[in-house]
Amino acid sequence: MTAAVIHKSVAWFLGGRSFLALSPPRRVEGNSGIRPLNFEGASAPEVPRARTELKTPSTSSPEKIGAFFDLDGTLLASPSLEWRFIAYLLARDEMGGAEVARWLARCAKTLLRDSVAATSGNKAYLAGLRESLAADWEASLASGSLPFFSAGIERVAWHLAQGHRVFLVTGTLEPLAHAAARRMPGPLEICATQLESRDGRWTGRLAGPHLRGEAKGRAVRAFAARFGLSLWESYAYGNSAADLPMLDAVGRRFAVNPRAALRRIALRENWEIRDWKDSTAVSAARSLPHLSEEAP
């Protein structure tokens, strides 16, 4: 099975796009402020009681206010991080016919029962691949090669300048989320989809829930319990209906580049809608000028 056939097969199932243009290798520095979260069974100290946007000034201390961001489509322009990683694997012949066959077989088993799990929650194509490939992919990224939305990076920087705690709550693979977070303008906490591994190789199975839908809401509440956050005064940013539980968990909700379903809800509930389109090199985010008290 050729790389072209493999790529078309994967794209047909996932509805993705071709993205085989890769950047020249370059290593980047890590961010020691990034940690994963175990959120199973966590409960919230409080839950917002209304769906309208909170307009009143915050009364809690800044460190008790959280800002929760989705990643793909919200802070980062398409294609998704996982598609970029798949392109890297295909271009270097790390993923071949056997991996795709396993992925397609697992899709077929669950497609009728749960179409979402059959595709986005199915990581069988990674079975047997080295965990270190994620680090290799990150090292291959040129400076500024991840197209973050400039307004999104400014928003992250604004929250950090206010002293808020900033979180990435994303369905992408955890090592890819860490790579993206290391290019942000400050330390973040991460909750992403974790992969099971044995002896340094992925098994193709998840080590926990796929971070979408209700899992995102549970992650937000777990972070709130861990850090003693005021959810009613916290912020959340998402671009699709899969982010609704995360948005509903806080008092300040932002629909960013919203897909049709989320846009309808945002208009009905009077949430703020932000259209972030222009992307920026991440190196620019690290040298942002001093940000005022007023939110961008």
**Complete DSSP assignment for 67-132:** EEE--BTTTBPSSPHHHHHHHHHHHTT-S-HHHHHHHHHHHHHHTTT-HHHHHTT--GGGTT-BTH
pLDDT of residue 249: 97
- Tokens encoding 111: 């497609």
Please write the tens of the pLDDT for every residue from 248-265: 999 999 999 999 999 999
CA dist 226 and 215 (Å) reads: 16
Contact assessment for residue 171 and residue 192, using Cβ atoms and an 8 Å cutoff: yes
pLDDT of residue 214: 96
Find the mean pLDDT for residues 158-186.
95
pLDDT of residue 120: 54
The phi and psi torsions of 249 (rounded to 5 degrees) equal -80, -10
Q: What is the dihedral of CA 78, 96, 129, 207, to 10 degrees?
A: 60
Indicate the range of 3-17, 98-112, 237-251 predicted with least confidence.
3-17
- Tokens encoding 236: 């959340």
Q: What is the dihedral of CA 74, 92, 90, 29, to 10 degrees?
A: -10
pLDDT of residue 27: 29
Q: Which amino acid is at 237?
A: Y
pTM passes above 0.75: yes
Other C-beta atoms closer than 10 Å to the C-beta of 57 total 6
The phi and psi torsions of 169 (rounded to 5 degrees) equal -120, 100
Find the mean pLDDT for residues 123-127.
87
- For the annotated catalytic residues, the residue numbers are 70, 72
Query: Residue 51 pLDDT more than 70?
Result: no
pLDDT of residue 231: 97
pLDDT of residue 279: 72
pLDDT of residue 136: 96
CATH architecture for the domain at 3-17+33-285 = 3-Layer(aba) Sandwich (3.40)
Burial (CB < 10 A; 0-12, 13-18, 19+), residue 150, is middle
Contact assessment for residue 256 and residue 155, using Cβ atoms and an 8 Å cutoff: no
CA dist 221 and 249 (Å) reads: 7
pLDDT of residue 203: 92
Per-residue confidence band for 12, with pLDDT thresholds at 50, 70 and 90: very low
225-250 exposure pattern, b = at least 16 Cβ within 10 A, e = fewer: beeebbbbbbbbbbbbbbbbbbbbbb
Question: How far does Cα 62 stand from its chain's mean position?
Answer: 24
Query: Residue 14 pLDDT more than 50?
Result: no
Residue written as token pair 């915050």 = 58
Comparing C-alpha atoms, which of 217, 277, 269, 268 is closest to residue 44?
217
Please write the tens of the pLDDT for every residue from 263-288: 999 999 999 999 998 876 544 344 34
Please write the tens of the pLDDT for every residue from 198-223: 999 999 899 999 999 999 999 999 99
Domain boundaries along the sequence of the chain: 3-17+33-285
